[in-house]
Amino acid sequence: MPATSTLDALLQELRARLQAAGIETPGLEARMLLGAATGLDTAQLIAHGTDPATAEQAARADTLSQRRCAGEPMAHILGRRAFWTLDLGVSPACLIPRPETELLVEQALAILATCDTEAPRVLDLGTGPGTIILALLSERPGLQAFASDHSHEALLQAKANAHELGLSVHLWQGDWLGAVTRQRGFDLIACNPPYIDPDDPHLTRGDLRFEPRTALAAEEQGLADLHRVIDSAREHLNPGGWLLLEHGFDQGEPVRQRLRTTGYQAVRTLRDTAGHERTSLGKI
Ligand SMILES: C[S@@+](CC[C@H](N)C(=O)[O-])C[C@H]1O[C@@H](n2cnc3c(N)ncnc32)[C@H](O)[C@@H]1O
């Protein structure tokens, strides 16, 4: 990157570089990368736009923009991703939280609002960086919060995020409900499992190339983990307890069917803002 005179000029260079690499929102991402390179927030970048950029700032911005132009996700470059009202730490060991999952959080909060129990017991299966359980806890600090994942690294990230937010979650490592064998009696179980067909070409594109395959793909056209969770969650739910599952836009019908045949009641599917079937739920 050529020597630049001011922070504004550096911002324009970054923007042009990202645009040339085909990044969809080059202006926004240029500001975020320059913020990471300088330690300045957006307001400070505007206020100090005419300040000279130091050689170190320009070198850091250069390295970060090269990583982005090579396709690395912004969340990995910055080590952070906004989800719900939270700013979560993320790493390449866990899924980057997606806005679609906020639908499940909204529905879980609506169910918890009608729950008679004072401190409902809630389990987030496959929590990754703590995405769902930390969003729920941030809104309902009185919850008894539990979460699991089979990935030790993901759980370390979830633990760090909980600590940073001052929230308390019991974390277990293991294979779906096998991680919580002796713990029964949840009022709500939430799960966003891997649900992409291993043959789906999207796995070789965009951010997905950089995320753990075990967080994304599942056998049986993406349905294997959804089926396992549906089958085994039932006996861990209190009477009247709910199971909420995120799934692919074309998996609503098989998920509803599995929920019904396994004995769940009041089974239905919610659509995301794009109109796609995204979250299914049922209760015991
Ligand atoms: C799609 S990611 C969801 C992460 C996070 N809950 C979210 O919504 O952003 C699926 C998560 O399930 C975990 N996982 C995959 N297979 C698992 C298994 N057999 N048992 C427990 N967790 C598993 C992955 O490590 C990953 O964190």
Atom 6 in ligand 1: residue holding the nearest Cα: 127
pLDDT at residue 15 above 70? yes
pLDDT at residue 118 above 90? no
pLDDT at 99: 95
- Report the separation in Å between the CA atom of 68 and the middle of ligand 1, taken as the mean of its atom positions: 25
Q: What's the order of all strands across the beta sheet hosting 237-246?
A: 170-173, 144-149, 121-125, 186-191, 237-246, 277-283, 265-271
* Residues 132-158, mean pLDDT to the nearest whole number: 97
Q: For ligand 1, which residues put their CB under 6 angstroms from it?
A: 94-95, 97, 101, 126-128, 131-132, 148-151, 154, 175-176, 192-194, 214-215, 225
Q: Where is 233: in which H helix or E strand? A: helix 224-233
Atom 3 in ligand 1: residue holding the nearest Cα: 192
Atom 11 in ligand 1: residue holding the nearest Cα: 126
The rounded distance, in Å, linking the Cα atoms of 5 and 50 is 9
Homologous superfamily of the 80-283 domain (CATH): Vaccinia Virus protein VP39 (3.40.50.150)
The rounded distance, in Å, linking the Cα atoms of 148 and 104 is 17
198-245 pLDDT per residue, tens:
999 999 998 899 999 999 999 999 999 999 999 999 999 999 999 999
Cα→Cα distances 102→88, 118, 133, 183, 273, Å: 14, 24, 11, 26, 10
Would you list the domain boundaries of the chain?
7-71, 80-283
- Report the separation in Å between the CA atom of 269 and the middle of ligand 1, taken as the mean of its atom positions: 21
Q: Where is 246: in which H helix or E strand? A: strand 237-246
* Residues 75-88, mean pLDDT to the nearest whole number: 97
Atom of ligand 1 nearest to the CA of 216: 1
